[in-house]
Structure 1
Amino acid sequence: MTSREDINAVIRGELAAQRLSQTDLASYLGFENRRSVVARLAGECDWKVSELEKTAEFLHLVNVSQLFALAAEREKRANKR
């Protein structure tokens, strides 16, 4: 199973690659401020499935399955080291 850390790393990487901010994502998700996104990306609290679905949409991924596939690929690469 793909770890939370890998999912968070993919989200951070996609945000950076697309030059999007955590504040942009927080606004898209309807959060009051960026702190809610920061807490999720730091592993301080869990993502809700609906939040991950909207995050995938925000990152222009086909669906949340693509987000998990990217995270699984990242995990495979990390395990080969």
Structure 2
Amino acid sequence: MFLMAEQVQKKPSVYKRFVKFVKEVRSELKKVIWPSRSQLINYTLTVIVICLILGVVVWLFDALFGFLYTLVFA
């Protein structure tokens, strides 16, 4: 039932765990394949265009439903 002093393991200090975490993060970031400048520009423009198109579609539906609402309830 009782644990011997050798069997009890202390948790590493907060500092040691933080240092280990930072080292692991740096190691993982070295494995990342970062996009080139031209890829980044293309992806960014694609996202902006899609957001604008979706915004216009939502605005059109809002205008349509607003118009239908005024026809029915006004």
Q: Mark yes or no: TM-score above 0.5.
A: no
Q: Which TM-score band (shorter chain)?
A: under 0.3
Q: Max radius of gyration: which structure?
A: 2
TM-score normalized by the length of structure 1? 0.23
TM-score, length basis structure 2:
0.25
